[in-house]
Amino acid sequence: MRRTVFANRWLPYLLVLPQVLVTVVFFFWPAAKSFYLSVFKSPPFGGRDIFVGLDNFTALLTTSDYYDSVVSSFVFAGGVTGLSVVGGLVVAALANQKIRGLTLYRTALLWPYGIAPAIAGIIFLFIFHPAYGILPYFFSFVTAYEFNWLLRGWIAMALVITATAWTHLGYNIAFFLAGLQAIPTSVVEAASVDGAGPVRRFTAIVLPLISPVTFYLVVVNMVFAFFGSFGVIHAVTLGGPGHATEIMVYKLWKDGFIGLDLGSSAAQSVILMAVVIGLTVLQFRFAEKKVTY
């Protein structure tokens, strides 16, 4: 039986038109313009654009600041993804049992997903605050080390990673739970009859079965950490101390909107485009094989 039953000449175009219009005006045209701007040096007030070829790119790639920012981005994205995916899996495994009040647990666990990363950043900023945070206070009983994120880059990084990962935990738990519940109990029971312990059962049987979900979540969390985390950085560390938390998106905004260096900012956009294309290819190649065009 055929699904495409309606034969209307103009209606499909009309239905697609609004979305295509938004796509072209707000996505393709500006993206193309990013490419254009990236090979020019343009004084902010305009007047003339000097064609410089790949100078904006070489200027970026030959300075340590940009490398630092790339490294920060990957540390940040890796940290966020690692923490929220592994954490999500562990908690989901714990929640995948038959106990009373489970719905309540699940609702509570989903909650952080409803908190904006910047807001989460501000909560954690208070928890981590060197002068009156609860965390440095408790650490002060254990060690004399000063947990001051205004000076110590790695603490600032830990702070923004924790806050961001926390907001994404609920989302990951929801997906892992769905994945775990889709595994037929008979499969796991068969393994336990074979004498495998709970940990062994989990790593040998469950983990491979939910690997598509895991992979999907890794990619989604990476994309989120790379492109959706500007707010945490802006609200909490402003990229500092040093450039310790200056992720690529933050630097791009800073150079473009504060420094008014349009050429460099556009070149950074183009480099980021490569990152996102890479991540998307990964996603479609491995995680969403079922998608057919």
What is the DSSP-derived secondary structure letter of residue 10?
S
Q: Residues binding another protein: what is the number (CB under 8 A)? A: 130
Sole binder of another protein in the list 80, 125, 157, 219 (CB under 8 A): 125
Closer CB to another protein, 54 or 108, in the complex: 108
Least distance (Å) between residue 221 CB and another protein: 14
* Binder among 23, 58, 192, 203 for another protein (CB under 8 A): 23
CA dihedral in degrees (266, 268, 273, 278; nearest 10)? 170
User: Which residue, 222, 235, 240, 219, is CA-closest to 117?
Assistant: 235
Q: Which of 71, 110, 205, 282 binds another protein (CB under 8 A)?
A: 110
* The one segment of 70-78, 124-132, 187-195, 199-207 that binds another protein by CB under 8 A: 124-132
- Angle (CA) 211-216-219 rounded to 5° is 125
Burial bucket for residue 246 (CB in 10 Å: 0-12, 13-18, 19+) = buried
184 binds another protein, rule: CB under 8 A: no
Binds another protein (CB under 8 A): choice among 74, 139, 202, 227: 227
- Chain Cα centroid distance, residue 70: 14
Smaller CB separation from another protein, 137 or 194: 137
| Contact range with another protein by CB under 8 A, out of 25-33, 69-77, 189-197, 199-207 | 25-33
Site residues for another protein, window 274-293 (CB under 8 A)? 276-277, 280, 290-291, 293
Structure token digits, residue 25: 């005006």
Sketch the per residue contact string, 151 through 180, with another protein: x for CB under 8 A, - otherwise. Answer: xxx------------xx-x----xx-xxx-
Separation between Cα atoms, residue 72 and residue 61, nearest integer Å: 15
Q: What does the angle CA 175 – CA 181 – CA 187 come to, to the nearest 5 degrees?
A: 130
Write down the least CB distance from residue 195 to another protein, Å: 19
CB atoms within 10 A of CB 76: 24
Taking the C-alpha atoms of residue 178 and residue 96, their distance in angstroms, rounded to an integer, is 9
187 versus 277: smaller Cβ distance to another protein: 277
Which of 54, 61, 86, 116: binder of another protein (CB under 8 A)? Answer: 116
Integer CA distances (angstroms), 188 to 87, 99, 177, 204, 216, in order: 22, 18, 15, 10, 23
Binders of another protein among residues 33 to 92 (CB under 8 A) are 33-34, 37, 41-47, 50, 52, 55, 59, 63-65, 90-91
Q: Do the Cβ atoms of 76 and 245 come closer than 8 Å? A: yes
Among 82, 253, 282, 286, binds another protein (CB under 8 A): 253
